[in-house]
Structure 1
Amino acid sequence: MKFLSAFFKKIQLFQSAPTQFTIFISLYVAFLFLGAYYFPTIITTILILPFIMISAYRWKIVGGIISSIWSVILMVFSSVTHHHTFLQDLIVSLSSYLVIGLLLVILYNYFESQDLKLKESKTLYRQLFEQVNDVILIVDNEGKIVNCNNVACNLIGYSCNQLLSKNIKEFIVPRPEQMNQLENMDPQSGEWSLRDTQGHEILFEVTITKLQNGLFLGTGRDITVKKQMEEALQSEWKRAQTYLELVQVIIVALDNQGRVALINRKGREILGFESEEIIGKNWFDYFIPKSIRDSTRLYFENIISGEIQSFEKHENYIVNKAGKEILIAWQNTFLYDNTGKIIGTLSAGEDITERKRTENQITEQINTLEVLYKLSNEFTKTLNLKERANEIVQTCVERFGVCLAWLAQVEPGGRVKIIAQYPLEHSYPQQIKIRWDETPEGQGPSGRAIRSGTYQIVEESTTDPSFTPWKVQAMQAGFVTSAAFPLISRGRTFGTLNLYSKTPGFFHPERLELFQTIAHHAASSLENARLFEETEQRLKHIQVLHTIDMAISGSSEPMLAQKVALEQIVQRLEVDAASLLRYDPQQQTLVYATGIGFRTPAIEKTSLKLGDAFAGQAALERQIIFIPKVSEHSIYYQTKLFQDEGFVSYYAVPLLAKGRLFGILEIFNRTLRIGNEEWCDFLRSLAENVVIAIEKEELLYNLEKTNALLIETYDATIEGWAYALDLKDRETENHSKRVTELTLKIAREMGIEEKYLVHIRRGALLHDIGKMGIHDSILFKPGKLTEEEWKIMRMHPVYAYEMLSPIQYLHSAIDIPYCHHERWDGSGYPRGLKGEAIPLSARIFAVADNFDALTSKRPYRDAWPVKEALDYIRKQNGKMFDPRVVEVFFHLDEIKILHKEKPST
């Protein structure tokens, strides 16, 4: 049983052996078991089997023969010993040899296959050993080199055989910390230096493995060049870091998540942070203004994703530690990994905040000059006050970035009337009440600007106490700051330009200077337009008065003239209705006479005692009564007339002449209408004409005298215009009066009838009326005019014609204002008339005008001596002037006297 147990143990032991070896052992054990019990010969044969095996493997066939002879000897010895017959032993032996032969074949094949595999394994191992590019050394525990590859031989400079006789300690150049490891042969992986046969040190990155047989396997890679490159790179990196720290631009590198990987000294200075406060932080979360953070981050993400292929130049704001926004101009490039994938960005940035501000200032100044130039040109194209005002406010909004602009004119009683605004749809101007007196509504920027004559600023509309009356409306509109600029002409403030912005600090000094310049130009332009419109209005007033006058003088029916007067009143004063109440001195009552513009006949029943109602009070007090809101006077508003007609405001004008009351002129409006001073003056003039119409009934016999008085009034008005023109140009003061007198003298000498002289006189007084349409910058230019300015200046006769031609009363006086710059030789303007094609009155005036102009001081020259002026007139005889007129001019007594006088020195 012990034997069986041992047998099975052997079987278990070799279960993992190759197949051939397992079969051999199994059969060997079986024969041993059988021989032990039956045949000693078999046992003897089996016992010598290992020797046969070893001999056969070691010495092949020869060993097999020797082993066989030795086995026969043992067999014979065994048979003799155990008393078997020779034949029995022979049979058993032969049988055993057959089995043993089979076992030997199996065993031989096994050994041959193992030997082949071993050779192949050694060959493969050596190939691998020699093929690797790293140094391979195997040493024993004393440091002696046991094996090596060709790479090791080549690097150290020995052949393989030479190297195998060496100790590794002969080549190692240890660092101090590696000395103990080398002495104790306990080296560790890391960087080691070897010295070759030439004495050169070679740096290796070594990995050391201790083998089971007490040997050490060392593999090493030559990193000398790599180390040199690393050192070179480190040196270059330090140099690059020095450059980065010295350059005066921001250098910043971001990874693909937007985190700061690198920033130089300049970047740290601008941001105001230390390096450790910046590195690793997300650039967009910490250093980009909140207003552009999302858009800038999206732009960066598109760059990293490859959607944006190029972003070499870019500008954006960054924010520093103090919260200040700084504009940076970037030069950018991509950062790639070894596979060509974008892993970040590298950017160089320059602080251009100040440069950009300067550029913007220059651009703004250029734009300002362009706008001012264009405005000046635009101002010369129209003399319409409303159009000019609209152009000014629209320009302030569209060109200069204000949110709202409005322009207002000063009115009596502290009132301020807005005449233009932009944008038109903005409701703010209609929501506020502005005055220029000392009331709370007059303490704002507009009122202060009008009273002081200087611009006024409200830096913060929500906190400025002076802006309290308009605080709520300003907050609703979003206005933060505002400014008011007075409009001043000839020392008189006649309006204000108000501007509003939603941007804090919008009205900085440069902008204030700009808007002040605009206000100055606007004031000049608006004043010219106002004077022009005022002149036009006065001319229209004269035409209206003349129309009424013609109705009075041309009709024998007094009521017709009164109706015409009321029609003109309603039309020219732009009111809704007007009525005439005649005064009956016997009954002391005011009775309805005629009216126009009424919807019901209620007015026709009017009959009032003196002192009753508004009309009776005006008659009693003999003063104009104005009721802006009739509804506030409940007693009178309850009357059927005001209720049915819907009248809101009312005027009652006493019709007086020579202290006598003729009646009351009533003016009605269905909307609030407050007339200015000029309107009221015109109303008085119309009322006077109504009085005249009424007086005609009583004073028909004195009609010619009345007409003469009217003509005198007209002429006085014309003289007033001429005087106004002279006042506008102080250098030519009284020019119109002098030249008119001289013109009339020449005309009388030439035999022109007196009935025509009145028209010559009016024309001479109005000769420069067209200059109202010329901009002051041209009209009063001290130097020589440009060609473009001359073109504008030469338009003033045309303007005069356009102004005067609609007025029938002045048709006969147009020749001088229209033609006084024509020349005898045809070289004049505006039509280039020649010779007698020029009206005679204009030819006469031309001589008188030039003589007075030459002998008067002008802005661009001193007055000529009289003799030089007379010589000039004589030289221009037949060129500029009519020879016949020149001849008469020199025959005037006063000219003869002047001609005989010696020139002053």
Structure 2
Amino acid sequence: MITELPLQNLPNANQGLEAVFQAYGDFMFVVDEEGTILEQKSGDVLQLNISAQKNIHRKIQDLLPFEAGRQIVDGLSDLRAKKIAAQVEFSVSNISGKSWYESRLIPSVNRQVIVFIRDITKYKQSEEKIKIQLDQMAALRSIDLAITSGIDLTQTLSMILDYTRNHLAVDAASVLLLNLQNQRLEFAAGAGFWTAALQHTQLQIGEGLAGQAVQKRRVVHVPNLKTRKTDLLRSPFFGRENFMEYYAIPLIAKGEVLGVLEIFHRSTLSADQHWTNFLHTLAGQAAIAIDSAMMFKNLQYTNDELTLAYDKTIEGWSRALDLRDKETEHHTRRVTDLTLRLAQRMNIPDSELTHIRRGAILHDIGKVAMPDGILFKPGPLTDEEWVIMRRHPLIAVEILKPISYLIPALPIPRSHHEKWDGSGYPNGLAGEDIPLAARLFAFADVYDALTSDRPYRRAWSQAAALEYIRENSGTHLDPNIVSLFIRMMTE
């Protein structure tokens, strides 16, 4: 339903402006282009301390703090130049903290400007809270990535402490880890300290503030360290830190206390519930990081132990062969060392060197199946005996292939008797079809055989052995490696 008002009851322009003024709680001014106040309507923005009286003919910029007034002047200048509304934002510090204001400058008739000033503190505080939350989420994401990527624990803890200081606005923070062997809390990482006061910390459970946090499994908070008799204050170095407020948060993962996160500040903290919640979140992330690092360390230790056991087993097999065949005793150790040296010269990665080493140690493992009459025959083998002897590389494959961790080491036991020209055994491989590890091993095997005493001949000199290797380049041995091997042996 539309109500028609009598013409005489309609408000005039001035009454309309006054009605607008009364409808809002903002400050409103009518100024000229230079900022001289012509009219004023006081709002509810008491923090600006602008009197409702005696402001006519004064400059609006003179009523505001310097920086706010300067922005108003800049806004008036922009408005004169562009003839469109301008908007500025400024803050004012007061007893309760910081207040934010938005000022809109709108051109009016007769070259006048209407200036609205509105308190937007609540909006800015909401923006700031959202920004803080986003920053905190980003920080937690970075910590998660550090934990899952297996970065060194010290680096992860340093990252957590940096985020703790930045996002909680505290002066210093440290992490003490619980040593499970001696049940003591030991310094692991710190940030923001002026001295080395805490770097040698060793506390028993229940000792000191951090020890109490572990013992009681709850946060220990001291609003003013200077009024408490604590072990911390007994340290002359700690006294120079001038800390006041303190928190100790136990780091608990899977029900086990792993350490303590300590927070230090040199004045009183303004800790609201959001601050406290994020503190506990960071402590939780630190506990997860420590637990993950301990699990990884234990897994690595177990893996190292297992690898050591594997290698000892392999060496035991090799030793058994040496004991059986006195003629080639220590041959395996020598050819393994030579093969690894040559592989390092060719810049083969360390991960592959492990497999080359194992393959070299086990190169003759197939001979365990050779009859003694053939293996220890003092004279030349017959053609039938050679057929049996040449099966030992294939026997090695049958022995080792079921052992998964030894599969990468198979190229040497299987192919160390292959020759570059294809005349070797058991598969008659030629050239680069022969695995590189087997080609490298061939140099060590030939060289050691020639330079070792045998019942049927004396050891050759190094010069004679290297000359033989040079002569067999391209037939028995890889011609691309010959010069490298000779240079290695003569340097």
Give the TM-score normalised by the residue count of structure 1: 0.29
**Relative contact order, higher structure (CA 8 A, sep 6+):** 2
Task: Report which of the two has the higher share of helix.
Answer: 1
Larger Cα Rg: Structure 1 or Structure 2? 1
